[in-house]
Amino acid sequence: MLGISLRPAQRRALEALTEHGDTLAVLPTGSGKSAIYQVGGLALGGLTVVVSPLIALQRDQLRSMTARQAVRAVMLNSAQHRPDRAHALAELGAGRADFVMLGPEQLANAETLAAVAGSLRPVTLVAVDEAHLVSEWGHDFRPEYLRLADVVEAAGRPPVLALTATAAPPVQADITRQLRMRDPRVIVADFDRPNISLSVRRARHDLPEDQAIDDRTVEVVLAHDGPTLVYALSHARCESLAERLRLDAYRAEPYHAGLPAARRAEIQDAFFAGRLDVVVATSAFGMGIDKPDVRTVVHAGVPGSLDEYYQEIGRAGRDGQPASAVLVYDPRTVRIPRLLAARSRMGGASVHAVVDAIEAATGRVTVRELAEAAKVGRAAAERVVDELLELGLVRPDGNDAVLAAPMGDAFRQVTAAGNRRQAILRSRIEAARGYAETTHCRRAELLGYFGEQYDPPCGTCDNDKHDQKHDHAVRGEHAGGQRVRHRLWGPGTLLSRDDHELVVAFDSVGYRHLTAAALTNGLLTLE
């Protein structure tokens, strides 16, 4: 069909899709998720709609598919030139496309949706790439993805294939719920990457914070093989670290959203071609990137979540050869992701003002009009509208607009949802801090976060190599997805346990580390 050789996990996901229907495939970074929708789409016939936020990856997939005869694919996104868009719409409407690759912003574009609905080829599959973006548990929530379920319904409710490399059980549940998947099959591949060694290096506490992190990061890069990816928490850290590494004769460049797009593309191409030894990047670098010979990934500070951390270290050692993932840790830097989480909190006054403006409006109202009426910034208005859309209290009406409706107790619901999201963000940051500070097997700790059973020691993390004392009974009979209920926080999923500690993902407040006594004193009960 496409001449693609499928791996066991890919084959299981494809069989679930073609034989059953709605499928969520949780596969590690670099495991070939796109092959599933390519083969599945042709097997089902008709038109496959692929929603992906990565324009560069869309282009790569388009080239890959159209290079093979008998496969017809087009692309629609905000970066297209007008003639290219017109050609794609014409091919789509005439039924001359097997695949259409959509950027998420196209889900609110009436012209795009009309072309999909009016195509002479019926939609037989909707594939959602980077599906964790639909979830508030995911590390980069995209409100545009909330329109996906309505798009699927409008297309006649074809099977939905959701693809992600973020495997935490709460993310899986949220994806299937937000996409309104029907009796979905969930395929989770083996997330262990045994060729990647895991370690944490503490920064010196007697130096200023920035200097301590930079010094230790440079030491780590010097001590490990390249090519190397360094992840930093801010644009300034990317710039300073790249400069430091150039002083040590490395060919190093920063990569972050503050650089022009053309410059970012140059740096990416140079890294792929081997003209750079090190790229120092924010999390803006990496999605859809497949350079197989990255030997080392270094994090200069604790990232915002272990979901993010796992995806980023997964860019090392894709050729199967030994690689290293090193986290440079200074407890003082944990406040940075905490600050980012705090910035996402919506002020009560802004929520009240936007809700009142919607209630006072009639018919269609744009976000700009709401911001003006509520006398708040556009960003604040967008965040409130996004929350209302997610709660189903308003309906979208084209790009950047909603239909006014009675608000009822919208303020209470929005505030409660915002508080819940804050608790989730904070708990994910604390889980990342817990990984940095654990004295147990790091591989077991990391995989346990994703609900995957692993019996330590791994022998390739720093804690195991240093022969520190481990309790090898990290997984008990109730680990690996057992549902529990907390007296205060309600239901959750038990991810891992030993004789001392439990890790639970609660539906209401996110990840929590509890003492094992919680199961014996009645604070936590098994369901």
Find where tokens 């789409």 sit.
Answer: 41
pLDDT of residue 33: 82
| Topology, domain 461-527 | Thrombin, subunit H (2.40.10)
Q: Is the pLDDT of residue 321 over 80?
A: yes
pLDDT band (50, 70, 90) for residue 250: very high
Quick one: pLDDT at residue 278? 96
Question: Span 8-188: which CATH code?
Answer: 3.40.50.300
281 vs 171, residue with greater confidence = 281
Q: Are the CB atoms for 496 and 511 separated by under 8 Å?
A: no
What is the predicted pLDDT for the residue at 338? 65
**Is it the case that residue 271 has pLDDT exceeding 70?**
yes
Whether 30 shows a pLDDT value over 80: the answer reads: no
Own/partner pairs for 9-15, CB < 8 Å, 24+ apart? 9/187, 9/189, 9/190, 10/35, 10/36, 12/187, 13/161, 13/187, 14/39, 14/40, 14/43
CB 10 within 8 A of CB 16: no
Q: How many CA atoms lie within 13 A of 497 on its CB side?
A: 22
- 267 vs 421, more confident: 267
**Shortest CA distance to 167 belongs to which of 138, 205, 210?**
138
Give the integer Cα–Cα distance in Å for 39 and 54. 20
| Predicted pLDDT at 512 | 80
Indicate if the pLDDT at residue 245 is higher than 90.
Answer: yes
Q: Where in the chain is the domain with CATH 3.40.50.300?
A: 8-188, 196-334
Place of tokens 């060919």: 251
39-92 tens-digit pLDDT: 999 999 899 999 988 776 777 777 777 776 668 888 888 777 888 889 989 988
Predicted confidence band of residue 477 (pLDDT cuts 50, 70, 90):
very low
Mean pLDDT of 424-452: 85
Size of the chain in residues: 527
State yes or no: pLDDT of 408 exceeds 50. yes
Q: Is the pLDDT of residue 209 over 60?
A: yes
- Domain 344-420 in CATH 1.10.10.10? The answer is yes
Q: What average pLDDT does this structure show over 492-510?
A: 78
- Pairwise pLDDT comparison (172 vs 479), residue with the higher score: 172
* Rounded distance between C-alpha atoms, residue 61 and residue 67, angstroms: 10
Highest mean pLDDT among 67-71, 162-166, 273-277, 501-505: 273-277
pLDDT digits (tens, 9 = 90+) for 95-131: 888 999 888 888 878 888 888 888 888 999 999 988 8
In contact, 51 and 128? CB cutoff 8 Å:
yes
**Residue 343 confidence (pLDDT):** 60
CB environment 31-56: b (16+ within 10 A), e (fewer): bbbbbbbbbbbbebebbbbbbbbbbe
pLDDT of residue 367: 85
pLDDT for 336-361, tens place per residue? Answer: 666 666 666 667 888 888 888 888 88
Compare 159 and 190 and report the one with higher pLDDT.
Answer: 159
pLDDT digits (tens, 9 = 90+) for 174-203: 889 889 999 999 988 777 889 999 999 999
Could you tell me the two tokens for 225?
């093989």
Q: Average per-residue pLDDT in the chain?
A: 83
Instruction: Please write down the long-range contacts of 363-372, taking CB distance under 8 Å and 24 or more positions apart.
Output: 363/403, 363/404, 364/397, 364/398, 364/401, 364/402, 364/403, 364/404, 365/401, 365/402, 365/403, 365/404, 366/400, 366/401, 367/400, 367/401, 367/402, 368/400
Structural class in CATH, domain 196-334 = alpha beta
> Whole-prediction pTM value?
0.71
Portions of the chain given CATH number 1.10.10.10: 344-420
Which band of pLDDT confidence, cut at 50, 70 and 90, is reported for residue 494?
Answer: confident
Q: Edge-to-edge strands of the sheet including 395-396? A: 364-366, 401-403, 395-396
Q: What is the pLDDT of residue 311?
A: 83
Report the distance separating Cα 10 and Cα 352, nearest Å.
47
